[in-house]
Amino acid sequence: MIAARGLGRRFGDKRVLRGVDLDVGDGAFALVTGPNGSGKTTLLRLVAGLALPSEGELRVDVTRDRIGLLAHDPLVYRELTALENLELYGRLYHVPERRERIGMLLERFGLWDARHERVAAYSRGMTQRLALCRVLLHEPQLLILDEPYTALDAQGAELLDAQLAELRGERTFLVSTHDPQRVRALATSELSL
């Protein structure tokens, strides 16, 4: 599903990524590890299509509507409510049975009661859980998770564990973390930057 050869990315005079080879097949769970600043986020952004490589080749056999990205930022609008945020993304991704799916996700991640509150009022953990809802909303084939456990509270982390266990094998995962212990058991391959 993902094939990269000699992938590199520069920001000005700084080389953030160099000569990366990556192969991720359907249903695989690829782990990307490395210290802070090693380019994990950049690699994930390249695969997601948010940035173009400076050098090398990258092939991602998935269309944009089947990709889900969990980034460092939750990518939700703080001045909108959880419901409004998910409505927006639901429409943009043409999610079938949008209302039901949104309701189901909000409930599963414990946000149903807070659905009419603006995200600005949420705790960090709640916001990250909403981000997870956003990512899962359109049932993406390829899930790209950038250090997903970082901003999650205990409840959120449990829910994420459950989701990963449930979807593993069915979907393809590309997960970066600087604390690999948690997910190593699930991983089918590991890339160290």
**Under a CB-based contact definition with an 8 Å cutoff, are residues 42 and 193 in contact?**
no
Q: Which is nearer to other proteins, 92 or 162 (CB)?
A: 92
Q: In the sheet that 55-60 helps form, which strands lie side by side, from edge to edge?
A: 14-24, 2-11, 55-60
Q: Which is nearer to other proteins, 138 or 187 (CB)?
A: 138
Nearest residue to 77 via CA among 123, 129, 149, 130: 130
Give the CA angle between residues 90, 45, 131 to the nearest 5°.
Answer: 35
Q: Which is nearer to other proteins, 55 or 100 (CB)?
A: 55
Cite the DSSP H helix spans in 10-81.
Answer: 40-48
Q: How far is the CB of 108 from other proteins (least distance, A)?
A: 21
Q: Which is nearer to other proteins, 79 or 113 (CB)?
A: 79
Pull the structure tokens for residue 145: 């998770």
Distance between CA atoms of 42 and 11, rounded to whole angstroms? Answer: 10
Q: How far is the CB of 54 from other proteins (least distance, A)?
A: 6
Q: Which residues bind other proteins (CB under 8 A)?
A: 10-13, 15, 45, 48-52, 54, 63-65, 67, 69, 71, 73-80, 84, 87-89, 91-94, 118, 134
Q: How far is the CB of 191 from other proteins (least distance, A)?
A: 22
Q: How far is the CB of 15 from other proteins (least distance, A)?
A: 5
